[in-house]
Chains A and B, each alone.
Chain A
Amino acid sequence: MSWIALKMLTGDRAKFFGIVLGLTFASMLITQQGSIFCGLMRRTSGQIFDITGADLWVMDPNVRYVDDVKPMIETSLYRTRGVDGVLWAVPLYKGIGRVKLTVLEEKPVDASQPKGPKRTQRAPVIEQVILLGLDDASLVGAPPPERMLAGRLVDLRRPDAVLMDFTRLPKLFPNEDWKSLPKPPAASKWLGDLIGRKLGTVHGPTPEETYRAALRQFYTRFLNRELEMNDHRAVVVGVCEATRTFQSNAVVYTTYTRAKRFVPQERKPLTYVLAKAEPGLSPSIVAERIAAQTGLKARTSEEFIWDTIWYFMKYTGIPVNFGITTVLGFLVGTAIAGQTFYNFTLENLKQFGALKAMGTGNLRIVGMILLQAAVTGLLGYGLGVGLATWFGVSSSGGELAFYTPWQLLPITGIAVVVICLLASVLCVRRVVVLEPAIVFRG
């Protein structure tokens, strides 16, 4: 009977596509909005993600999230190092710095005639940046080599050296030729390359590798450019990829000692202590020991990420806003898919009646309806998630916060199952109570 159910389902293509479209829409909206929500939340704790190598973040007990900077006295570092189970501990400065640089601008000689002759003049650019000061010796917390787009990490040890985050360079260097910035490969190109490689017809560098090579070449132009921070000279020795932050400020990496020079003097410069638990010891146990012995707050990286995410969820209203969109997607999807599927069953009621008259039991009919719902659900889910992924891939590298954790896929799947079940339950009820005598009515 399964093939009869499937033929009934696909026989009327317009209705079949209508049902699949409804489910696709719901599934896409849930995945896409969910991914944007997760992307935004990930950005809130982007700097925790970016600091690799350390297991533990030690901080003032009043710190609630990563941007809630509450400086500590520098002896906190040594007290942390003294805790049993701490393999190493290094300082991390995190604060807001101010970058000043001059750019060349073309301005009209006569301000009353904007289209008249122009002259080149120097113009100041002042931007706030997130300044990260890494341990001078180990550079723990620096971007890994694969995230360096230009320059070398070791150059951070050169005098006045800073690493710039590529995402906000346009704000600092507005007159640069940003139109020549390489564009990420289109999703179709990426997919074509993937299929070509599977078939063995495509060789050589991937579109992603080609894009990154072009990016490296582009960003090389920023090396050795000079900036001014707190009346101190700073030299760009590298451009790196940093996770976009919730604020729109650029991230500037330098050493801990130099960071203290790049900001106005503070009595307590230490923001965080990054620590590593000894092998074989659970970071959370070591965190408890640090908290107990020093009176400081110690969180594992994962705990700190969640602290930050929960803070933003509680105080920004983002989950409510995205939740509404996602629920709307679910409701609209349910309405479209449910209504179309229900109408589809109603229109086929006489056919189901004929099948019942010919001796098909209710269980089999219910099985047919559930199979139809499952097939449309599976197609809608696949297409919806596929479209959302396509959307995410197409917009990667841009400002859109898009991150799809694996947990989102089963959540979308469950939502689609619920939609299909709701639609099926209504249909099943109609068919089960259907009198086969309906077939004798003209």
Chain B
Amino acid sequence: MSVMEKRWPAPAIESEADSAAIAVRLRHVTKTFGSGDQKVVAISEVDWDVLNGQMTLLIGPSGCGKTTLLSVIAGILDADRGSGVTVFNQNVGAMSGGRKTRFRRDNIGFVFQQYNLLPALTAAENVAVPLIVMGWKREKAVARAAEVLGQLGMTPKVNKLPTQLSGGQQQRVAIARALVHEPRLIVCDEPTAALDHETGHQVMMLFRTVAVRPDRAVLIVTHDNRVFHFGDRIARMDDGRIVEVSRQEATTDEPVGAYH
């Protein structure tokens, strides 16, 4: 029996949590790629709850299924039949393609490892994209985007193209883009992976202070142990399963000697 096929207990159900506080509820979530001899089980029988008002970090070694799980939660990848993926009490797995797209548009903000900013658009225009997708007029959307960028200290850069910004500035623009339409769930994939320590720290500070709100869940996939202390909860994945969920008092101060 291969490691991928091992069965692990499901330890991450928030049995004591109020259902209103649960942003994401996963039950028996499995995702396999390929079939026959080529079959790879990326996530297996995951039972897990992500809570509102918290920053949850999903950690684990490369290839353990973090990004796949994030994609399933965000509704951009379909889990296998029989999986239960509920986001804000809505069964994402049962939604049609169009409804899922609208659900993502209205409820989820994305921050990507490689930022995925549109190179031809200015910072403000990039931030305005989710509003444009929601049907806002261009001028109004860009004005609102500039406001959000201002809150992130990016006012002087609103008219700059992504190529004219540093990595940290680009990630700030990406964060602003994830926040601008006030989503209830923000999913981030390795937001500090492409950044140096100092900039990564600033970006996580920003998440902590701007993104985390009582009615919003922030889910960050990372394997950067330098930022673990920012999370309220840390879920550790291994071989496609959640093997441990720990709670901690989040802090923005760097633990002495933790990362060096």
Q: How far is the CA of A360 from the CA of B100 in the complex (A)?
A: 11
Are A439 and B116 also in contact (CB < 8 A) when A357-B76, A358-B110, A360-B101 are? yes
Residues in chain B within 8 A of chain A (CB atoms):
67, 70-71, 74, 76-77, 97-98, 101-102, 104-106, 108, 110, 112-114, 116, 118-121, 125, 129-130, 132-134, 138, 189-190, 193
Query: Which of A5-13, A112-120, A284-292 lies on the face that meets chain B?
Result: A5-13
Among A358, A439, A442, which residue has its beta carbon within 8 angstroms of that of B129?
Answer: A358
Contact assessment for A358 and B112 in the assembled complex, using a CB-CB cutoff below 8 Å: no
Contact A359 B118 (CB under 8 A): no
| A351: B residues at CB distance < 8 A | 116, 118-119
Contact yes or no, B76 A436, CB < 8 A: yes
For B104, give the chain A residue with the smallest CB separation.
A359
Q: Does A4 contact B (CB under 8 A)?
A: yes
Q: A8-B118, A358-B105, A440-B67 are in contact. List 19 more A-B contacts (CB 8 A).
A: A4-B118, A4-B132, A7-B118, A11-B120, A12-B120, A354-B118, A356-B76, A357-B104, A357-B110, A358-B104, A358-B130, A359-B133, A360-B101, A360-B105, A360-B133, A435-B76, A439-B76, A440-B71, A441-B67
**Chain B hits for A7, CB < 8 A:** 118, 120-121, 125
Query: Is the CB–CB distance between A357 and B74 below 8 Å?
Result: yes
Determine if B76 and A355 form an interchain contact, defined as CB atoms under 8 angstroms apart.
no
- How many Å from the CB of B178 to the closest CB on chain A? 9
A residues in contact with B104, CB < 8 Å: 357-359
What's the minimum C-beta distance from B180 to chain A, rounded to whole angstroms?
Answer: 11
Q: Looking at chain A's contact residues, is the secondary structure mostly helix, strand, loop, or mixed?
A: helix
A87 in contact (CB, < 8 A): no
Q: Which of A7, A350, A356, A359 has the most CB of B within 10 A?
A: A359
Query: Assuming the A-B contacts A435-B76, A442-B113, are A358 and B120 also in contact, with contact meaning beta carbons closer than 8 angstroms in the complex?
Result: no
Q: Is the interface of B mostly helix, strand, loop or mixed?
A: helix
A-B contact pairs, 14 of them (CB 8 A): A3-B138, A10-B120, A357-B74, A357-B76, A358-B105, A358-B133, A359-B105, A361-B98, A435-B76, A436-B76, A440-B67, A440-B71, A442-B114, A442-B193
Chain B residues, Cβ within 8 Å of A350 = 114, 116
Total number of A residues with any Cβ neighbor in B under 8 Å: 28
Which residues between 7 and 41 of chain A lie within 8 Å of chain B, taking CB atoms? 7-8, 10-12
Could you tell me the distance in whole angstroms from the C-beta of A198 to the nearest C-beta in chain B?
34
In the complex the two chains form, is B101's CB within 8 Å of A356's CB? yes
The answer to whether A154 has its CB under 8 Å from any CB of chain B is: no
Query: Chain A contacts of B112 at CB under 8 A?
Result: 354, 439-440
Q: Which residues does chain A contribute within 8 Å of B134, judged by CB atoms?
A: 359
Q: Chain B nearest CB: distance from A12 CB in Å? A: 7
The answer to the question of A437 belonging to the interface, with a C-beta cut-off of 8 Å to chain B, is: yes
A1 at the interface (CB under 8 A from B): yes
**Shortest Cβ gap from B74 to chain A (Å):** 7
Whole-angstrom CA separation of A441 from B74 in the bound complex:
14
Q: Which A residues are in CB contact (< 8 Å) with B189?
A: 440
CA distance A4 to B67 in the complex (A): 28
